[in-house]
Amino acid sequence: MTQKIEKLLKDQGVRPTAMRILIYKYLLEKNVAVALTDIENAFAKSDRTTLYRSVKTFEEKGIVHQIEDGTGIKKYALCEDGCNCEIDTDLHLHFHCSTCNETVCLTEHKIPHINLPTGYTAENVNLVVKGICDKCSSQQKTIR
């Protein structure tokens, strides 16, 4: 496991330090997008700045992508294999649940092509749907 991650990080041009490996593992085991604060809370002995800069490096090297889910808090999630964060091919829908407050990548749901008025050039597209996630809606059923 750790071996693989080390290799993966190296391949992306990121030095596999102890903390970075831990962060990567954490992102891997979470199946939702995480905030910096989440990572901070996951490790008792961690400095926010280090985490901040590690994640930033990950982002620059294409290891994670940043998600703006509308909460005002930046979230991060691992990129898919072979992802280049390219518009039309890699960018996908994100879903933010207003009940559990979790944000997930719906990697199967790519962003539809958007027509823009003349003169406008798209560099990036952010599509976030807010509502109730599957877990929360099935809990609702269970309750009643």
Partner DNA sequence: TGTTCTATGCAATGGAAGTGCATTTTGGAA
Partner DNA sequence: TTCCAAAATGCACTTCCATTGCATAGAACA
Residue 94 is inside which H or E element, if any? Answer: strand 92-97
Q: Contact 93/106 with Cβ under 8 angstroms?
A: yes
Check: CB of residue 104 under 8 Å from CB of residue 32.
yes
Closer to its own copies at the Cβ: 20 or 94?
A: 94
Q: Which does 46 bind (CB under 5 to 8 A by kind): Mn ion, DNA, its own copies, none?
A: DNA
Footprint (CB under 5 A) of Zn ion, residues 12-31: none
Residues 6+ apart with CB under 8 A from 132: 97, 98, 99, 140
Nearest distance from C-beta of residue 93 to its own copies, angstroms: 7
- 136 annotated to a ligand binding site: yes
Q: Which of 88, 98, 100, 101 binds its own copies (CB under 8 A)?
A: 98
CA end-to-end distance (rounded Å), the chain: 42
Closest CA to 91 of 71, 61, 66: 66
| Residues binding DNA (CB under 7 A) | 14-20, 35-37, 45-50, 52-54, 57, 72-74
Is the CB of 21 or the CB of 32 nearer to Mn ion? 32
Q: Which residues bind to its own copies, rule: CB under 8 A? A: 68, 70, 72, 74, 93, 95, 98, 106, 108-109, 112, 114-135, 137-138
